[in-house]
Amino acid sequence: MPSNIIVPELGESIVDARVARWLKKPGDPVVAGDPLVELETDKIDVEVAAPQAGVLARIDRQDGEDVKIGEVLGIVDAATSAAAPAPVQPSDAAAREAQAAGGGEAQAVRGADDTSARATPSARKLARQHQVDLSSVAGTGDGGRVTRRDVESAIDGRQKAAPAPPARTPEPPATRPEARPAPPAAPAPATPAPRPERGEGRTERRVRMSRRRLTIARRLVEAQHNAAMLTTFNEVDMTAVMQLRERRKQAFKDRYGVGLGIASFFVKASVGALREFPQINAEIQGDEIVFKEYYDVGIAVGAEGGLVVPVLRDADRRSFAEIELGIRDFAKRAGDGSLTLEDLKGGTFTITNGGVFGSLLSTPILNPPQVAILGLHKIEDRPVAVKGQVEVRLMMYVALSYDHRLVDGRESVQFLARVKELVEDPAALLLEV
């Protein structure tokens, strides 16, 4: 009996997707649960599995087509599978004979397909770009799944293993012992290089925007159009935090298996400030204000195809170690493409750190429906006045963008000042938050 392959529910606020790539061809046998097709959404890539065992009888929506939830992507026919003879597993001797006769190629292709199916979408994409055989890559993901980092390691290993071209030994010039060296020739007059023809070397390349990039572009414009967005700035003396990290970093890592970064200090300080200014942890719904009495902090992470913001749930209940472990996990899974829709849902406040890329100052854009976002920046030595004396301190500019419809300038300035106060005094941060 034929069974439809349906575009599944894709998560909160996602109503459509794009067919990124079919993993099987019409006529291929499939097992229930086998990944059949990758869908690209504005947040993550999703694999659609076979609804039953059988044969992929038909593909209705081709690569690159946009689809909506509930639409039919293709058909798996179980009847065809029942009529087909079960494959016979050859003995070792038979397998060697088949390979000697040229029959081993089909076995190898099928093995590569199986390995491809247990690789993440981003790993498959990178492998295609660099012509990496996934069957030769050891997977470190859940259940031995090949991740993007595994493919990157294979590419690095291949590049390091490539032999360098042999150095060319110049041949000695043939000279006669009795011959006198000829006088040096007069240099020829310099000839100007020919001017390139108009348009030569001025090529262009046209690439279709991904679903994620399209959505990022749309949401950023909507954020600016639909909110009265302003930004306030301050600077934080990071000297005490950096000294604390230096003293405790090894003991912290030995105990928890993760480094002590600066993000956990700002998560803790933000939660403390949000408690004092609850409207910054709220959102506008129609003509009502919804105050959130929980603290789900989004952490902006750079990923292939664009920025994603996975959410630390109940950040107020997490220790420094739990925050650092959560952020490390987000960064790893953003890199290998294994973030889920659940990781990206919700969020009451967002922190973004442009300082890791060298940004000195910026104005972050709101992440709707949130009404505020905290931007961190590069830490650098700067001369500052301390109790009437000029000292060189480790300083960071911080920025708070906020929706002026709900948050007044006074509250935004006081909120940022409170974050500064807590970070500059880590002892108070530990005691009060």
Which segments of 351-432 does DSSP mark as H helices, in order? Answer: 409-424, 426-432
237: left (phi over 0), alpha (psi -120 to 50) or beta: beta
Residue of 237, 296, 408, 425 with catalytic role: 408
Is residue 20 within 8 Å of residue 63, measured between CB atoms?
yes
Tell me whether residue 316 is one of the annotated catalytic residues. no
What long-range pairs does 48-54 form, CB within 8 A, spacing at least 24?
A: 48/5, 48/6, 48/7, 48/8, 48/73, 50/5, 50/76, 51/3, 51/4, 51/5, 51/6, 51/76, 52/3, 52/76, 52/78, 53/78, 53/81, 54/3, 54/29, 54/30, 54/78, 54/79, 54/80, 54/81
Peptide bond into 426 cis (omega under 30): no
| Lookup: tokens for 314 | 């109940």
Q: Are strands 372-376 and 379-386 parallel, antiparallel or unpaired?
A: unpaired
287: annotated active-site residue? no
Residue 211 · residue 40 · CB < 8 Å? yes
* CA 148 – CA 332 distance, rounded (Å): 10
Q: What is the largest CA-CA distance in the chain?
A: 103
Distance between CA 55 and CA 41 in Å, rounded?
A: 26
Task: Give the burial class of 213: count Cβ atoms within 10 A of its Cβ; 0-12 exposed, 13-18 middle, 19 or more buried.
Answer: middle
Could you give the 3-state DSSP secondary structure of residue 192?
Answer: coil
CA nearest 57: which of 80, 33, 35, 86? 80
Contact between 397 and 384 under an 8 Å Cβ cutoff? The reply is: no
Given 63, 66, 133, 404, the catalytic residue: 404
Q: Give the catalytic positions in this structure.
A: 404, 408
